[in-house]
Structure 1
Amino acid sequence: MKLGYHVGYWSTGAPAGVVETIAEAERLGFDSIWTAEAYGSDCLTPLAWWGSATSRVKLGTNILQMSARTPTATAMAAMTLDHLSGGRFVLGLGASGPQVVEGWYGQPYPRPLARTREYIEIVRAVVARQAPVEYGGQFFQLPYQGGTGLGKPLKSTVHPLRTEIPIYLAAEGPKNVALAAEVADGWLPLFFSPKADGFYRSALAEGFARPSARRTPDDFEVAASVPVVVDDDVERAADRIRPHLALYVGGMGAKNVNFHREAIARLGYEDVCETIQELYASGRKQEAAAAVPTAMVEDLALVGPVAKIKDELSKWEESVVTTLLVQGDPGTLRAIAEAAG
């Protein structure tokens, strides 16, 4: 199982110590580094800036939000970063949720799976550069239909470094996971747990079995974001993760449309998630975090002494996960590299 470093989202500004941590990740032999975006910093600018100081690691977006850019704009960015990095770019895409898509980007959310399929087809057509791009989809048309009538099919002025750039799809629900297996080169799970390995294997198998599937389980990447806290005190380590889980269970998405909550509830925490969501919605965020049981943290994260983490890693290695994406300082990266070694 490979290791990657996930910078994550910004809060008030750029995370401290990222340059040093990226350098340590490359020194330790990590396979990749990743940046994210939601409704603050973007993911492409930091990846280009920090990635310019690297020479070997893959550079990925986890995730680039599809509603933020047209498919052709995303393809342009992907080709540009692939050239600048010498062919190390990985395009991680995600649909996000209706609160962000409609509330921040002002784009419609309904039918995200069908929209994703069209989006990826256009990105691939631009990167392949075999002909001027024409597309007559339900959600995207090239040239645009109903405008001046002056638009014409175009072909990128840039010749791609690679005519295929790897595309990974972020997904949590079973239908979207199956779509990832069908149309993408990899899957970016959030809140993955080895306990749910069978559930996700089934969803992936459905996608791999479709006639249009591009990959097989043997050449498909699964890069899972996994919180890691190294500490001799397990409860103290879990305390670092509880607010994060409470935020995603209780504060991300609407009450009845929260894909993160659903993924965690499927692990057997339906009642707990209901409690967390009610506390968070009423403004009692500290109580919501306190309601996150240590067992839930340990299902979704690696916490505690290095020896404990090393022992638990075997469950992840036996799962569909091919790359573990971790966040933390250089010390955390060294500890997880030691445990994984």
Structure 2
Amino acid sequence: MKLGLQLGYWGAQPPANHRELVDAAERSGFDSVYTAEAWGSDAYTPLAWYGSATERLRLGTSVLQLSARTPTACAMAALTLDHLSGGRHIVGLGVSGPQVVEGWYGQRFAKPLARTREYIDIMRQVWARQAPVTSPGPHYPLPLQGETSTGLGKPLKPIVHPLRSDIPIYLGAEGPKNIALAAEIADGWLPLFFTPRMADQYNAWLDEGFARPGARNTRETFEVAAVAQIVLTDDTEAAYAAIKPFLALYMGGMGSEDTNFHAEVYRRMGYAEVVDEVTELFRSGRKDEAASIIPDAVVDDSAIVGDEAHVREQIKVWEQSGVTTMLVSPGSVAEVERLASLVH
């Protein structure tokens, strides 16, 4: 089992201790550090900033939003960071949801699976640098043609020769079709709310992708880098209470009332009634109450809360379920070091 430091995205202000956490992760044997983006801080700038102070940690995004950049712009940023880091970059991509894509980026959300496939194909053309980059579309046509274009566009190759012609791409995927797509065209899967209880179902969806013609990987070469809330504590009641507002936000407050991909994850886990009640309370402004009605068992399903013996045991369970990297978010240098000691 490998550990990744998940820094996430910023809140109202830049975090004060992320540099210290990155330094501790590098010293303690973590495999990687990851950043994210929503509609505030971007993922690439902090990753480059903190990555410049490291020599060994792999630098990943979990996740970049497809609609934030054209595929060639994303490929440019990736090849640049890959050069600067000596080949340590991992591109984690996700489609986000229609509320963010249309409301923040002003882009269309239609056909997310097809858009993802086309986006990744263009990125890999850029990095391969074997020919000028072209795409017939329909989502990212290169060069642009038709009534809205000047007709002067021409296919181009990147000026910079990429350090690696095939930078790893992981997909943030929650639904069955998207998970299968990750297994087919990507190098790894980034699950947000993973539960070992559903390992057989996840493996069935992944196997569907691995079995498709032209699949890039097998189970043996595919990474599953799962977000894992690990809280080392003897006061489990307080830890559950601290996690529940986060779950209430994702379960009841993300997306719209009838289109929330995170909520669907919990429905597939068997918590449809909880999701409905949390959503109703959260969207009526009763956020504290929405968090309080979430049962402890729901937290336990996708988090690890307890003393060192319990955490060690559960890490083994996650590993046996197919997880290759656990993306953790310790709040202090001491927590980084304690988590590292449980794995290494």
Interval of TM-score (by shorter of Structure 1 and Structure 2): over 0.9
Q: Distance in 2 between matches of 1:211 and 1:56?
A: 35
Rounded Cα–Cα distance in structure 1 between residues aligned with 2:264 and 2:228: 17
Partner of 1:4: 4
User: How many angstroms does 1:335 deviate by?
Assistant: 2.2
1:282-293 equivalence runs, <5 A = 282-293=284-295
Q: 2-side partners of 1:15 and 1:74: how far apart?
A: 25
SS of 2:5's partner is strand
Assess if the C-alpha contact under 8 Å between 1:142 and 1:153 holds in 2. yes
Partner Cα separation in structure 2 for residue 103 and residue 174 of structure 1: 25
**1:175 equivalent in alignment to 2:213:** no
1:334 aligned partner: 337
Q: How far apart are residue 14 of structure 1 and its match?
A: 1.5
**Aligned AA (2:296):** T
Superposed CA offset, 1:102-130 (max 9, x none): 00000000110001000000000001100
RMSD of equivalent CA atoms:
0.9
**1:240 matched to 2:242:** yes
1:131-172 deviation per Cα after TM superposition (whole angstroms, max 9, x unaligned): 111110211111101211111000000000001100001100
* 1:52-67 mapped onto 2 (5 Å cutoff): 52-67=52-67
Q: CA deviation at 1:182?
A: 0.4
Aligned AA (1:51): G
1:154 aligns to what?
A: 156
Q: 2-side partners of 1:338 and 1:266: how far apart?
A: 34
Name the structure 2 match of 1:312.
314
Is residue 228–residue 332 contact of structure 1 (8 Å, CA) maintained in 2? no
Larger mean Cα displacement after TM superposition, 137-146 or 68-77: 137-146
TM-superposed CA distance for 1:238, in Å, is 1.0
Shift of 1:292: 1.3
- The structure 1 segments of at least 4 consecutive aligned residues displaced by more than 3 Å after TM superposition are none
In the alignment, which residue of structure 2 is the partner of 1:166? 168
CA distance in 2, matches of 1:283, 1:33: 35
- One-letter amino acid of the structure 2 residue matched with residue 125 of structure 1: Q
Deviates more, 1:311-320 or 1:164-173: 311-320
**Which aligned pairs between 1:198-277 and structure 2 lie closer than 5 A?**
198-277=200-279
Which residue is 2:102 aligned to? 102
**Aligned pairs, how many?**
341
Instruction: State the secondary structure of the residue aligned to 2:315.
Output: helix
Does residue 76 of structure 1 match 2:107? no
Report the AA paired with residue 255 of structure 2.
G
Residue 300 of structure 1 corresponds to 302
* Most deviating of 52-61 and 298-307: 298-307
In structure 1, what is the equivalent of residue 49 of structure 2?
Answer: 49
Output one character per residue of 1:35-56: Cα deviation in whole Å (capped at 9) or x when no partner: 0001000000000001100000
CA distance in 2, matches of 1:20, 1:127: 33
Cα distance in 2 between the residues matched to 1:333 and 1:249: 28
Using the TM superposition, give the Cα deviation of residue 265 of structure 1 relative to its aligned residue in structure 2, in angstroms: 2.0
1:306 maps to a residue whose letter is E
Distance 1:78 1:49 in 2: 14
Q: Which letter does structure 2 place at the counterpart of 1:279? A: L
Give the counterpart letter for 1:230 in structure 2. Answer: L
Equivalent-residue separation in structure 1 for 2:319 and 2:214 (angstroms):
28
Cα distance in 2, alignment partners of residues 313 and 47 from structure 1:
26
Deviation track 1:195-228 (CA, whole Å, cap 9, x = no partner) reads 1111110000000000021000000001001112
Partner Cα distance (1:333, 1:239) in 2: 22
Shift of the alpha carbon at 1:331?
2.2
CA contact (8 A) 1:223 1:321 kept: yes
Contact 1:128/1:164, CA 8 A, preserved across alignment:
yes
CA distance in 1, matches of 2:74, 2:315: 35
Residue 137 of structure 2 corresponds to: 137
- Letter matched to residue 203 of structure 1: W
After TM superposition, the score normalised by the length of structure 2 is 0.98
- What TM-score does the superposition give when structure 1 sets the normalisation length? 0.98
* Deviation at residue 181 of structure 1 after TM alignment: 0.3
Distance (Å, rounded) in 1 between the aligned partners of 2:200 and 2:262: 18
- Give the conservation status (yes or no) of the 8 Å contact 1:250–1:281: yes
SS of match in other structure, 1:179: helix
Report the alpha carbon displacement of residue 339 of structure 1 after superposing the two structures with TM.
Answer: 2.3
1:33 has 2:33 as partner:
yes
Aligned-partner residue type, residue 257 of structure 1: T
8 A contact 1:34–1:60 mirrored in 2: yes
